[in-house]
Amino acid sequence: MSNEKKWGDLEIAAVGSAVIIMGSLLFYWVLEIESMLELLELAYGSAKLFNNPLVY
């Protein structure tokens, strides 16, 4: 017989919603950081990280 505790309804709902919310927020903030870096590229024009038309 397994000694591992069976996960209850509340625990599954908590982990599921936490993973979905945290994943969405991390995705949002990573996209914001990427767009900020793109703006910095355009502003200072010396690095080509994502999509800088000033650097070939």
Partner 1 sequence: MLNSMLGQYRRTIILVVVFLLIAILEVLEVRTTIYGNSLPFFEWMKNSSWLGIIGTTYGSVYATIEAVHLLSMAVIGGTVLATDLRLLGVVLTDIPSETLTRGTHKVFRNALICAIATGIFCAAGVADKVYYMPVFWVKMLALVAGGCFVFLVKQPLLNSMPHSEINPWTIRLLATTSILVWFTVAAAGRWIGFS
Q: Please report, as ranges, the residues that interact with partner 1 according to CB under 8 A.
A: 5, 7, 9-22, 24-26, 28-29
Closest distance of CB 38 from partner 1, Å: 16
Closest distance of CB 51 from partner 1, Å: 20
Choose between 8 and 53: whose C-beta lies nearer to partner 1. 8
Taken as a whole, the chain contains a residue count of: 56
Distance from C-alpha of 30 to C-alpha of 36, rounded to nearest angstrom: 10
Cα distances (angstroms) measured from residue 43 to each of 26, 46, 48, 51, 52: 25, 9, 12, 12, 10
Choose between 32 and 54: whose C-beta lies nearer to partner 1. 32
